[in-house]
Structure 1
Amino acid sequence: MRHDLLIEGLANVRDLGGLKRSDGSVTPRGVFVRAEALDRLTPAGWDRLSAHGVRTVLDLRRPHERTGAVPAGIARVCLDLDGDDEAFWSPLEADGRWGTPLYYLAHLRELPDRLAAVLDAIASAPEGAVLFHCGAGWDRTGLLAAVLLRALDVTEDDAASDYLASFANAAAMTAVHNRSFDAEERLEVLARFGHTADSAFRAAYRDLDLDEWFDLADVAPKTRLAVTTWRGSTDRA
């Protein structure tokens, strides 16, 4: 069961708790929250996030995209998950795959240091829930969410449901942020590559071998433990 949050100024925000794991348990609530850009958050919205336990915000956007600030009592860490590797991004931007799960596995394989730095930040964050976001809360956020869900062996069905929620929230996002989030364009790109949003995410999630990637990225033992136990909130299945 997905835990959507009602936060004034956000339309694509949810707690990653309550998702089914392969052992029959569910992911713990109050550990990770995913969202879109926080620019429209009202004071009441920030109060609601604080009441939910959020103490750290991870901004995954590129430097030129970063806007806004966080209130006292919440730490902000800015980490560019994309990077500026032109050789990697140019073909993906040219054919539209950059805004879909079709780039996830290539990113993990070819730019492993980018996500590894984000996971290190998660491991060293102070006590409390960690909220991570990009612009739309869709695919940079979605890549990190997929890794976190795979770390607790969340079922493919529930992981896909979490990803697809961004499509369901697209109209509300447009209303809150006064801009399009290109849901139809994303679907058209996926169709050109023989996918739906569901099938594209499932293909990436199914082939995401986290233990193998940990070795590839040389992820530190402390960080591995923080990720695979969701910051000590559960034992690894």
Structure 2
Amino acid sequence: MNRTLHINGLANVRDLGGLDREDGTMSPEGVFVRSERLDRIDPEGWRALIAYGVRTVIDLRRPDERTGQIPASIKHVHVDLDGDDETVFWAEYEADGRWGTPLYYLAHLQSLPHRLALVLDAIAAADEGTILFHCSAGWDRTGLVAAVLLRALDVTEDAAVVDYLGSFANADTMTALHERSFEVEERQQVFRRFGHTPESAFRDMYANLDLDSWFSTSNVTASTRVAIETWRGAAPELGSSNRERILD
């Protein structure tokens, strides 16, 4: 299925549902939506997101990046996934460009587990309804959280790769909408320097993403772990007619 949502003001937005799982089922629709920044969503776009079921927005950006307003009917949660003060960790990855790729994901999970734990706790504590999570481009921080959620539900490696590569496919549309470059060629150059393509880098990371080990050493509660591994109790339920209406 095409999981893209057609929302005025977004160019890199999609439901994490409809992806193949190892047991032959698919990830449930209407639980998680990933996107880029929300600044350009117009009133019609917000109405569509609310009709889709979005009740919580989780902004993964650093404090100095946060922009834009959302309707009062949607709960707005800020969680700094990077860690604005984690300068020692980021120095190496910012210097060589890996900060904008999945090449940093596993190190982030190992060195800064409390950062992801904050995001997962926010997901577990969110109000009933669809959760939209985003960063600036909806590419890398959003991609890390998406990878964790997909791995938690045993989404297949191939399906997870397709989801990740969707941001590359959307790059030109994002550039036109947001009037800025998303540095696709620069990302490609970083991958090549480290012997990868976008697909191989994500695939290698996803294959080595051991959530059982991460959960066993993190400080998340048992209830948060259950919420993540069951997608807030939604798996394997399907989406509603509202979701089907605006999914292409």
TM-score band by shorter chain is over 0.9
Paired AA for residue 224 in structure 2:
T
> Structure 1: which 4+ aligned runs deviate by more than 4 Å?
none
- Aligned match of 1:160: 161
- Aligned match of 2:49: 49
Distance across 2 between alignment mates of 1:90 and 1:216: 25
8 A Cα contact 1:2 1:19, kept in partner? no
Q: Relative to structure 2, which stretch is displaced further, 124-133 or 212-221?
A: 212-221
Q: Compare relative contact order (CA 8 Å, sep 6+) and give the higher one, 1 or 2.
A: 2
Distance across 2 between alignment mates of 1:124 and 1:218: 16
The aligned length equals 235
- Aligned match of 1:62: 62
- For residues 39-65 of structure 1, the C-alpha deviation after alignment (integer angstroms, 9 at most, x for no partner) is 000111111110110000000000000
- Aligned match of 1:232: 233
**For 1:1-237, what aligned pairs fall within 5 Å after superposition?**
1-83=1-83, 84-234=85-235
- For residues 137-168 of structure 1, the C-alpha deviation after alignment (integer angstroms, 9 at most, x for no partner) is 00000000000000010000000000000000
- For residues 5-60 of structure 1, the C-alpha deviation after alignment (integer angstroms, 9 at most, x for no partner) is 00000000000000000000000000000000000001111111101100000000
Following superposition, the deviation at residue 2 of structure 1 comes to 4.5
Q: Relative to structure 2, which stretch is displaced further, 226-235 or 154-163?
A: 226-235
SS at match of 1:4: coil
- For residues 93-147 of structure 1, the C-alpha deviation after alignment (integer angstroms, 9 at most, x for no partner) is 0000000000000000000000000000000000000000000000000000000
Paired AA for residue 133 in structure 1:
H
Distance across 2 between alignment mates of 1:8 and 1:170: 16
CA-based RMSD: 0.7
Distance across 1 between alignment mates of 2:55 and 2:11: 20
Following superposition, the deviation at residue 219 of structure 1 comes to 1.5
Distance across 1 between alignment mates of 2:217 and 2:197: 29
Distance across 1 between alignment mates of 2:32 and 2:2: 12
8 A Cα contact 1:18 1:29, kept in partner? yes
Rate the CA distance shift 1:196–1:158 in 2: closer, same or farther, 3 A.
same
Identical aligned residues as a percent = 66
TM-score, structure 1 length as denominator?
Answer: 0.98
Structure 1: 5+ residue stretches without partners:
none
8 A Cα contact 1:146 1:205, kept in partner? yes
Structure 2: 5+ residue stretches without partners:
237-248
